[in-house]
Structure 1
Amino acid sequence: MGLIMAKLFQSWWVGKKYKIIVVGLDNAGKTTILYNYMTKDQVETKPTIGSNVEELTYRNLDFVIWDIGGQESLRKSWSTYYVQTDVVIVVIDSSDTTRLPIMKEQLHNMLQHEDLARSHILVLANKQDLSGSLNPAEVSLQLDLQILRNRKWQINGCCAVKGEGLPEALEWIANNI
């Protein structure tokens, strides 16, 4: 009987892959964050046309991470990636305050999609190392994150090129899925 229960438990839990999508406007640092997780190093990136996908294991959890291009022409296709998404990482260029209203609109439109109703939201206020960058609390206010109800969300500051704040972000994901 114990063997049957062990196999049943294994079939339910072992091998579960959590889907994470990484979205944000172009030049926010999405790809830099993805490859920092993969290599723990700074990697030179080019604008993403379409998407990048990588698998990562962290604390015995398997993640499939989709980095989706953020150019205006690609944003309409974001919804094709939403199915079975466990976590949405929203990357914000904290130094590009003129485009925050665009990302606010994109974010709130995304969160109305039924496929994301159960997804957790992690906002990464990137480029904290640049002068004039908004801190995470200021980004949160600009994005109206305080109105998000009935869903888990978090905002963290980070610097993708240096890897600062990224381990804490991954830890939050692991603790909340």
Structure 2
Amino acid sequence: MKFDLQPTHLHNERIRLIPLQETDFDRLFEVGSNPKVWEQHPNPNRYKFEDFTNYFKGAIESNGALLILDSFSNETIGCSRYYDYNEKDRTILIGYTFIGIKFWGNGYNKALKKLMLDYAFQFVNKVYFHIGAFNYRSQKAIEKIGATKVDEFEVEYYGEDSKLNFVYLIQKN
């Protein structure tokens, strides 16, 4: 079985993940146009149309981006992606995640990470996460599910200046 970076069958009781399509721009921008979503991210201006358009273009070109939908209402929750898959080292990264503020603190992020990790661990032994150095909310959330900080370095996001990120790791049991 091959690691599909955009699987079509990932779902649980809370969320459903589908490959991000160009036609999803408007529904995703509606969620991402709230400045509060990005206030701790490396680019706090992603709520602006131009910055979000760049983020979205990078997501589409990555061929690993997934639209996050509510399993019950089909409402758009946000976006995440798999990237930098290394078959030889059996590693992958999960990141570029954002979730609309309506869904914060309700278990959606935990459900998302569990779903993505369970799928990834069918193919890899280590999953890494790049999290902005000042994104305390995401750092705390990833630590709650068992990730450990293992490094920090500059990450150059698609079409943006490089920013300091922390690298977190979760290993397969």
Q: Which structure is higher in helix share?
A: 1
Give the structure-2-normalised TM-score. 0.37
Which structure is richer in relative contact order (CA contacts within 8 A, separation 6 or more)?
A: 1
TM-score by length of 1: 0.37
- Structure with bigger gyration radius: 1
Give the number of the structure whose residues are more often strand, by fraction: 2
